[in-house]
Amino acid sequence: MKKLGKRILVALLCLAIGLSCIGCGEKDKKKKELPSSEGFTSDILMRIGTSKVTYEEANIYLMSMREEVETLYGSEIWNYVFTRDELTYAELMKKQLLEKIKYIKLVCYMADEFGVSLEADDILNVNDYTQEYMSNVTEQMAKEYGITEELIRGIYQDNVLAQKIYETITLNADTRYTEEDYLTADFQYIYLSRYYEDVEGNTLTIKGEEYEALREKMNKLREQAVSDQKEALAEEDGTYDFYDYAKDNSDAKSVEMVVKRSDLPTASAGVAFALAEGQISSVVEEEDGFYLFYCVSEYDEKASQEAEEALIAEQSKEYFEELYKQWEENINIEVNEALWNAM
């Protein structure tokens, strides 16, 4: 949702240039030729609470979407069917666009409740967006599509305001997590798989005595690693390299992992995250085989910070989405389906 406003702003800025080509093609139907659902006139597409979306406003969004899609995929894309319910791409995109318009208007409708409004810098940006857009609109295009500076300014105001409301709400979201949820550590490891492929490519499972032999192999690998580490640390430079040893003995293509506790199975997480830097773990038995961990770093600062930020963003998004669902349920939303289907 946070990216929605920015995407629409970019699409709208690009639209005015594309309109110069669209204007020479098939003209949009006149309002008087368009049908309306009961309780609506042909100049209103949607009512959200006391706010409205006009035909001209919806048409700008629709043309913006059309221009963006055709720039990326060409005009042949519209009749393709991609979904199980057999919607054409045109029908699918219109359905999504209607939800986007509803989202922007509904979020803006809540501005007063959260005390959010456009400030001086926001208004300057809106004015810049509007002037850039209008500089590419000819008099003929404006007349044909009902484009006015007031209309375009209103659309940009809504998009900027909706984004600002989202950021304000998520900034103050009640996020709850512990250090374990984001703390990230750096490990190297050896993995011996209990699965193998036969000559026909079938995946088989090592069992019985062969499985016990696999366990014994990992125990010996650990003993050798511990012995090598002691010898290396006793030398003058006092450094130990587990990486090459792991590369030579592991069934895994990669022997490095930067992970959170939640990224590992319970048994492996308990053993690996109990290690101090430079320690070699005991052998860990998991469903898919055996693991041996070497702790490179108990705390990867960059990865931990990124994980914490991602956690906050996800919880904030969930918080906002829950609020949005409540707004949808409690605020009257009506769509002029007949008009929208005809556009």
Residue 183 burial (CB < 10 Å; 0-12/13-18/19+)? middle
Model-wide pTM > 0.75: no
Among candidates 179, 175, 211, 220, which has minimal Cα distance to 285? 211
Return the domain boundaries, the chain: 2-175+314-342, 184-298
φ/ψ of 31, rounded to 5, equals -55, -40
Residue 89 burial (CB < 10 Å; 0-12/13-18/19+)? middle
In a structure prediction context, what are the per-residue pLDDT tens digits for the chain, which is 343 residues long? 545 545 555 556 555 444 544 443 444 445 557 889 999 998 999 999 999 999 999 999 998 888 889 999 998 999 998 767 788 999 999 999 999 999 999 999 999 999 999 999 999 999 999 999 999 889 988 888 889 999 999 999 999 999 999 999 998 887 888 777 889 999 999 999 999 988 888 899 999 999 999 999 999 999 999 999 999 999 888 899 999 999 999 999 999 999 999 999 999 999 999 999 999 999 999 999 999 999 999 998 898 888 888 888 889 999 999 999 999 999 999 999 999 999 8
φ/ψ of 33, rounded to 5, equals -90, -10
Q: Does domain 184-298 have CATH number 3.10.50.40?
A: yes
Sign (positive/negative) of CA torsion 41, 35, 330, 4? Answer: negative
Report the alpha-carbon angle 132-134-138, nearest 5.
135
- Residue 276, CA atoms < 13 Å, CB-side half-sphere: 0
Q: Which amino acid is at 73?
A: Y
2-175+314-342 against 184-298: fold identical: no
Region 2-175+314-342: CATH code: 1.10.4030
